[in-house]
């Protein structure tokens, strides 16, 4: 009987008021850049949803993605597991082990055929038959293929799963590949980041639960709600960039005054992520606010970009000019985001030209 309950019924039985639920839905709608009217639709969709079966596979990874999820604000891990999803298998969090764990995975696949979601964190080694990472005697390649066969959708969380991450970096001794290289016939969502923003994970799952479909994605299969703009677009230090005020070292006067960190290697102009808006630790801060430049950790090949503290270009065009902004955005070509960079560069340049005319 309890399995047939909707999420709304479960929450009511646990004493969670409709007001509290609407408040959470409004928060979720806001961080997903949905219009205010969408919060009610989101709440109604979640209330009518039933627990979503989720199988979480961890391959070549550091457990950082799971650590990020357990520290999500607004929607806690306990809510996510016990109210919103049925986390049937998770290498890091599950209590069972051995054959009992594998039985749980296969049972969930059978009982929820065509409906379950597979979440993957970590890249998949393919060299030498994939022997560099095995679970229960099976390579990651084989386990992934078996698990996604009857899945509704696949979600690659973290840059390792989405783009290969650290294991994929040169010289890539294990032949690591991202999930996208092995998933061709299933809906795929990439939620990159090292680690990914926790709200990007919980928000994406909540969207699927509420609307029964994948959220709007960009050309890299990233949710536009969280990856539609660059860190540079929303960075509170951007006015200093426009004024040509750059910190020259991490302890100089400019750094103490909060000037732009571009010359210290900040990759904000090519980094598509929600760090500058959602932030971390309950909206307290994010790396740039803490005084450190962005690594663009949610971008492809970010480990191979020539150093975290190397500026995007050898020289900076005159500060505050459309050319200077375009040069920063154009550097995204080397990070695999050329298309988005050109579009963003053109938009910023036109905006700047309009401001100069005004």
Spatial contact of 94 and 57, defined as CB atoms under 8 Å apart = no
**Which residue ranges make up the annotated binding site for [3Fe-4S] cluster?**
275, 294, 297
Residues 5-9: contacts with CB within 8 Å, 24+ apart?
5/50, 6/47, 6/48, 6/49, 6/50, 7/46, 7/47, 7/48, 7/49, 7/50, 7/51, 7/83, 7/84, 7/209, 8/46, 8/47, 8/48
- HEC readout, 232-244: HHHCCCHHHHHHC
Q: How many CB atoms lie within 10 A of CB 243?
A: 12
How far apart (Å, rounded) are the C-alpha atoms in residues 164 and 172? 10
Query: Rounded to whole angstroms, what are the CA distances from 306 to 135, 170, 210, 267?
Result: 34, 11, 42, 12
**Which residue ranges make up the annotated binding site for [4Fe-4S] cluster?**
62, 65, 160, 194, 232, 235, 260, 266
**Which residue ranges make up the annotated binding site?**
62, 65, 160, 194, 232, 235, 260, 266, 275, 294, 297
């Amino acid at each position: 009987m309890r399995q047939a309950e909707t999420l709304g019924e479960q929450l009511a039985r646990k004493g969670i008021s409709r007001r509290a639920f609407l408040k959470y839905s409004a928060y979720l709608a806001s961080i997903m850049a949905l219009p205010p009217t969408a919060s009610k639709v989101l709440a109604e969709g979640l209330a009518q949803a039933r627990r979503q079966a989720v199988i979480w596979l961890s391959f070549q990874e550091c457990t950082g993605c799971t650590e990020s999820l357990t520290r999500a604000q607004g929607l806690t891990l306990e809510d996510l597991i016990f109210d919103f999803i049925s986390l049937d298998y998770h290498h890091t969090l599950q209590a069972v082990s051995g054959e009992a764990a594998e039985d749980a995975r296969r049972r969930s696949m059978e009982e929820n055929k065509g409906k379950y979601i597979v979440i993957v964190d970590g890249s998949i080694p393919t060299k030498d038959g994939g022997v560099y990472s095995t679970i229960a005697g099976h390579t990651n390649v084989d386990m992934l293929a078996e698990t996604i066969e009857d899945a509704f959708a696949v979600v690659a969380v973290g840059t390792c799963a989405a783009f290969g991450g650290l294991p994929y970096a040169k010289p890539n001794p294990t032949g690591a590949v991202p999930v996208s290289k092995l998933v061709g016939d299933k809906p795929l969502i990439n939620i990159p980041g090292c680690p990914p923003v926790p709200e990007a994970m919980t928000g994406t799952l909540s969207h699927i639960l509420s609307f029964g479909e994948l959220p709007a994605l960009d050309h890299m299969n990233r949710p536009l709600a969280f990856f539609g703009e660059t860190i540079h677009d929303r960075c509170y230090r951007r006015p200093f960039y426009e004024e040509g005020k750059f910190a020259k070292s991490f302890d100089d006067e400019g750094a103490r005054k909060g000037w732009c960190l571009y010359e210290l290697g900040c990759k904000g102009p090519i980094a598509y992520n929600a760090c500058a808006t959602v932030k971390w630790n309950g909206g307290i801060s994010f790396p740039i606010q803490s005084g450190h430049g962005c690594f663009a950790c949610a971008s492809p090949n970010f480990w191979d970009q020539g150093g975290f503290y190397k500026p995007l270009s050898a020289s900076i065009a005159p500060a505050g000019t459309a050319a200077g902004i375009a040069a920063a955005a154009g550097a995204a070509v080397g990070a695999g985001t050329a298309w988005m960079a050109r579009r963003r560069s053109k938009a910023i340049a036109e905006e700047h030209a309009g401001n100069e005319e005004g």
